């Protein structure tokens, strides 16, 4: 695959609400930043946690409570639909997002823009409408919602070993660079140097690194352009 530099590799998992926040921020920034290639790359947050020895935010109740408050604030500030999911802690003990992420890998191979729309629909389900993204019937609803025709075929293809391997490879790429959470953002500058960032709240530093305009939420951009 040939790619242009500078490049932002945005590693995400649809189980992660901060991956959703970073995704929507980057979707806005890609219209405001010039000459920067952006790739959205599925990985497995559960394995990142395991490999790094980190613990999920829900493992510490005060951290979880603060995270829910912070998510609401962030959603309001950025004007994105994000509502803490009351079932999340129960679901996370029972399910993994691996099958959903493998479906995204199939779509990424065929049509990256369709993959991005499907990822957004998955985030809306878990983190806006408190709906599952783990089982066959969930995948059918998700793909119907984004207008995919060959749903059965996509689900069957996602079970091929190569997608499990691809998910592991993407995850390992990050854990070898000390990843311990999501989103994990790997920025390659024009000199070929790699710079890792953790979180959806590091785009001001990435802007500085790449000499791009500072990020602002869409509503603030709109206000600015009216001045
Ligand atoms: N400050 C970061 C927090 C990101 C975050 O908490 N991500 C969770 C997953 S949704 C995580 O991986 N946490 C691991 C950790 O904080 O050590 C942001 O605003 O994006």
Cα of 181 vs centre of ligand 1, distance in Å, is 6
Q: Give yes or no for residue 200 CB within 6 A of ligand 1.
A: yes
What pLDDT digit, counting tens, does each position of 133-156 carry?
Answer: 999 999 999 999 999 999 999 999
Mean pLDDT, all residues of the chain: 95
**Percent share of the chain, pLDDT over 90:** 91
First-to-last C-alpha distance (Å) of the chain: 42
Q: Give yes or no for residue 33 CB within 6 A of ligand 1.
A: no
> What is the DSSP annotation of 92-129?
HHH--SHHHHHHHHHHHHH-HHHHHHHHHHHHHHHHTS
Q: Give yes or no for residue 201 CB within 6 A of ligand 1.
A: yes
- Does residue 226 surpass a pLDDT of 60? no
For 165-175, what is the mean pLDDT? 98
Nearest CA to ligand 1 atom 17: 181
Helix ranges, the chain (H): 17-32, 45-52, 61-78, 88-94, 98-110, 112-127, 136-145, 151-158, 161-175, 203-210, 218-226
Which of 119, 95, 108, 96 lies closest to 166 in space, CA to CA?
108
Cα of 153 vs centre of ligand 1, distance in Å, is 34
- Does domain 7-226 bear CATH number 3.90.79.10? no
Question: pTM of the full predicted structure?
Answer: 0.95
Q: Give yes or no for residue 18 CB within 6 A of ligand 1.
A: yes
ipTM tops 0.85: yes
- Catalytic-residue membership of 19: no
* Residue ranges covered by each domain of the chain: 7-226
Task: Determine the Cα–Cα distance for residues 14 and 125; give it in Å rounded to an integer.
Answer: 10
pLDDT at 127: 97
């Amino acid at each position: 695959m040939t790619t242009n530099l500078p490049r932002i590799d945005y590693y995400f998992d649809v189980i992660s609400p901060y991956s959703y926040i970073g995704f929507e921020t980057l979707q806005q920034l890609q219209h405001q930043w010039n000459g920067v290639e952006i790739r959205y790359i599925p990985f497995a947050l559960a394995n990142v946690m395991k490999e790094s020895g980190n613990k999920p935010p829900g493992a510490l109740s005060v951290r979880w409570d603060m995270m829910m408050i912070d998510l609401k604030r962030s959603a309001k500030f950025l004007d994105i639909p994000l509502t803490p999911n009351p079932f999340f802690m129960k679901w996370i003990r029972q399910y993994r997002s691996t099958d959903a992420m493998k479906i995204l890998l199939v779509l990424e191979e065929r049509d990256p823009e369709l993959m991005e729309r499907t990822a957004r629909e998955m985030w809306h389900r878990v983190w806006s409408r408190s709906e599952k993204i783990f089982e066959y019937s969930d995948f059918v609803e998700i793909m119907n919602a984004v207008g995919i025709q060959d749903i059965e075929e996509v689900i069957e293809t996602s079970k091929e070993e190569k997608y499990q391997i691809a998910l592991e490879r993407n995850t390992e790429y990050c854990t070898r660079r000390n990843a311990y959470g999501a989103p994990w953002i790997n920025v390659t500058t024009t000199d070929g140097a790699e710079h890792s960032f953790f979180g959806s709240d590091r785009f001001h530093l990435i802007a500085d690194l790449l000499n791009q305009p500072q990020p602002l939420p869409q509503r603030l951009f709109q206000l600015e352009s009216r001045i």
